Amino acid sequence: MKLYLYKIIFILVFIPNCLYQAQSKPNIGEPTLIPCSSYIQDDSIDRFIGTWEGNNNGKTLKLILKKEKIRDPNTGICYDLIFGFHKLIENGVETENSVQFDNTNYLNGKSTILGTTNTNNNSHLHLSVTHLSKNKNINIIISYIDSEHLKIDASKNFEGIKVNEPGKPPYDYSIAIPSDFTLTKQ
Helix ranges (DSSP H) in the chain:
2-22
Dihedral, CA atoms, 28, 30, 33, 37, nearest 10 degrees?
Answer: 80
| CB proximity list for 162: less than 8 A, separation 6 or greater | 171, 173
Q: Which residues contact 166 (CB under 8 A, 6 or more apart)?
A: none
| Per-position pLDDT tens, the chain of length 186 | 555 555 566 566 555 554 444 444 444 444 445 678 889 888 999 999 999 999 998 999 999 999 999 988 888 899 999 999 999 999 999 999 999 999 999 888 999 999 999 777 889 999 999 988 888 899 999 999 999 999 999 999 888 888 878 887 788 888 888 888 999 999
Pair type for strands 149-157 and 93-97: unpaired
Q: Could you give the CA distance from residue 85 to residue 80 in angstroms, rounded to a whole number?
A: 17
Domains, the chain, ordered by start: 42-158+177-186 (2.40.128)
Q: pTM above the 0.85 mark?
A: no
